[in-house]
Amino acid sequence: MTNKRVLFDLDGTIINSEQGIVNAIKYAVHQLNRPTMDDATLRRFIGPSLVQGFQDIAGYSHAVALEATEAYREYYRDGRAL
C-alpha cells in the first residue's frame, strides 16, 4: 500500500488566514492582560513559530510566550475562530 499525501500552503495561497491569526493573537494578548498591538505588528506574527513570535515581536519572556501560545490555541480549540 502506498502512502499518498497532499500538502496545502494556506497562508495566502489557498485562503487568507491573516484575520484568524491576528484575532487569535489579539485574544491571547487580552487573556494575558498585556497591551494591545497595532495591526502592522500583529501581521508580523504570520510565519514564525508562535513562541518565537511572542518573544521576538511582543518581547515576552519564554514563560509568558508559552502562556500566550496556549491562549492562542485556546481561541481555535474553543471554536472562536469559526
pLDDT in tens, the chain (82 residues): 687 887 666 656 677 788 989 999 999 999 999 999 999 999 999 988 999 999 999 999 999 999 999 999 999 888 776 5
Domains assigned to the chain: 18-77 (1.10.150.240)
Task: With CA atoms as reference, report the closest residue to 59 among 77, 32, 81.
Answer: 32
Please provide the DSSP assignment of 6-50 as one string.
----TBTTTB--HHHHHHHHHHHHHHTTPPP--HHHHHTTSSS-H
* Cα distance between residue 64 and residue 54, in whole Å: 8
Q: Is 5 helix (H, G, I), strand (E, B) or coil?
A: coil
